[in-house]
Structure formats: structure tokens, C-alpha cells
């Protein structure tokens, strides 16, 4: 069976090419992203675009990519409403007949089940969120979005049996490395990829502290540190 390929494209932007050759983009920020190794012209295919919240460094290119590729865009009703009004995102490109979805809700597209979860952050529109993504082969990922730690991460782990967690470690706007390691404990995920660091000078500039603490506190968890443009097969 073909693996699922998870590629980090800087900040909170990931592409996932599934074992059934579906392409998911999460928080696509290309324009102005100093760590992103691709340009908007490099995006030639996308089936699903997920937006965790309405900040420029998470949704700046989401509408344009959806329009370019025809991808289904998933986000909160207020956020997709702004993208429709301000950026001419076609209503037919938005999940659930142009409405969007909200925290606790799930949708299944081409065998991929996506559940929106809570996150603790801010947003220009709607509320911040994360996503549990169950791929066609049953592998399950959690993209936390921008968030601080919260106790019900334990519940998410109990419900969804997470294979891979994508967690922010940058501090200032999200969890710092100490909280992120505690989040790994709560989630019970088998593997973790750190994100949302190094992009701005105010953030943590590397994942060294997170890796060291994770090895001490959760030695059974596989910590995968990627450089922008690198991939991991799940």
C-alpha cells in the first residue's frame, strides 16, 4: 500500500498527499511566508483546503488556491463568509453547500473524514480551530492550529487514536515547547511534528528544546523535525 506523504511547507502550512492520491492543504500561507519553499504557481492540484482560523499567516492563499484548483474549502462559517465576500471564493467550493462547518462537526470527502476541533487563540472572524483528519487507509492526524494547551486534548486522543500530531511550539502566539510536550502526553499520539516556529524573530527559532524535553518526558513518541519542503511518510 502506498504511504501518505506529509510535507511541511513552513509555519503551519502542510500538504498531505494520501495513499489514494488526494491532496490536502492545511493553512496554506505562501505569499510573504519567509520559510515557504514554493510559489503559488507550484500549486497545480488540491482536493481539500483546510483553514484553522482567519489570520493572514494561515489563510492568505486559501481562497486563491481553491479557485485555481477547484478544491473544497473547509473553515468556519464566518471565515468562509469573509473569503466569499472579500476574495470572491465561489460558494460551490465551500463545504456543506457553501456554509462551512463548526467545532465538533465532521464531514467526509472522498473517503477522508475531517472533524473540526476547538483551539484557544484568536481570529479575525469566527473562532480558532484545529482538525482531526482520518485518511482513507485509517491513519489519523491532528493539526492543532494555533492554540495553547487545553485539558480536553486528552479526550481527543481517547476518541480518535491519533497516529501523528502537528503541534505549534513557537510560543508568544501559541504553545511553547514545555506546553507542547504536555500536549503530546494528553493526546497520546504516536508521532509528532513540531510547527509554527522560526518564521518570525519573536518565535522559538528551532525545535531543539522541544526535542530534548520530549525525549525525556515521552521517550516512546517519535519526534519528527522537518525542514521546510521536507516530507514524512505515514
**pLDDT tens across 160-177, in order?**
999 999 999 999 999 999
- What share of the chain in percent tops pLDDT 90? 99
Per-residue pLDDT, averaged over 181-187, amounts to 98
Q: Which of 217, 196, 193 is nearest to 205 (CA)?
A: 196
Per-residue pLDDT, averaged over 108-122, amounts to 98
- What share of the chain in percent tops pLDDT 70? 100
Question: For residue 66, what is its C-alpha cell?
Answer: 481553491
Query: What element of type H or E holds 131?
Result: strand 129-134
Q: Which of 130, 107, 112 is nearest to 17 (CA)?
A: 112
Q: What angle do CA 119, 53, 179 make, to 5 degrees?
A: 35
Calculate the average pLDDT of the chain.
97
Q: How many CA atoms lie within 13 A of 123 on its CB side?
A: 26
Q: How far is CA 208 from the centre of its chain?
A: 21
- Residue 8 phi, psi (nearest 5): -90, 130
Q: How many residues does the chain have?
A: 234
Say whether 221 sits in a helix, a strand or coil.
coil
**pLDDT tens across 134-158, in order?**
999 999 999 999 999 999 999 999 9
The pLDDT of residue 1 is 60
Question: What domains are defined for the chain?
Answer: 5-226 (3.60.15.10)
Q: Which of 72, 131, 79, 64 is nearest to 96 (CA)?
A: 72
Amino acid at each position: 500500500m502506498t504511504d501518505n506523504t506529509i510535507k511541511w511547507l513552513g509555519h503551519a502550512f502542510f500538504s498531505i498527499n494520501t495513499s489514494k492520491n488526494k491532496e490536502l492543504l492545511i493553512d496554506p500561507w505562501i505569499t510573504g511566508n519567509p520559510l515557504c519553499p514554493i510559489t503559488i504557481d507550484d500549486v497545480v492540484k488540491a482536493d481539500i483546503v483546510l483553514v484553522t482560523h482567519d489570520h493572514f499567516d494561515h489563510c492568505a492563499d486559501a481562497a486563491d488556491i481553491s479557485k485555481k484548483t477547484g478544491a473544497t474549502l473547509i473553515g468556519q462559517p464566518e471565515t468562509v463568509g469573509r473569503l466569499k465576500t472579500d476574495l470572491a471564493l465561489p460558494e460551490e467550493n465551500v463545504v456543506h453547500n457553501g456554509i462551512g462547518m463548526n467545532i465538533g462537526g465532521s464531514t467526509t470527502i472522498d473517503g477522508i473524514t475531517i472533524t473540526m476541533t476547538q483551539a484557544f487563540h484568536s481570529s479575525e472572524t469566527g473562532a480558532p480551530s484545529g482538525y482531526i483528519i482520518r485518511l482513507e487507509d485509517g491513519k489519523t492526524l491532528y493539526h492543532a492550529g494555533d492554540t495553547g494547551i487545553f485539558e480536553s486534548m486528552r479526550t481527543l486522543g481517547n476518541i480518535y487514536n491519533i497516529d501523528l500530531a502537528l503541534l505549534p511550539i513557537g510560543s508568544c502566539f501559541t504553545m511553547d515547547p514545555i506546553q507542547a510536550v504536555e500536549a503530546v502526553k494528553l493526546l497520546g499520539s504516536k508521532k509528532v511534528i513540531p510547527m509554527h516556529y522560526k518564521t518570525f524573530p519573536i518565535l522559538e527559532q528551532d525545535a531543539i528544546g522541544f526535542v530534548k524535553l520530549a525525549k525525556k518526558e515521552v521517550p516512546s513518541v517519535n519526534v519528527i523535525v522537518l525542514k521546510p519542503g521536507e516530507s514524512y511518510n505515514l
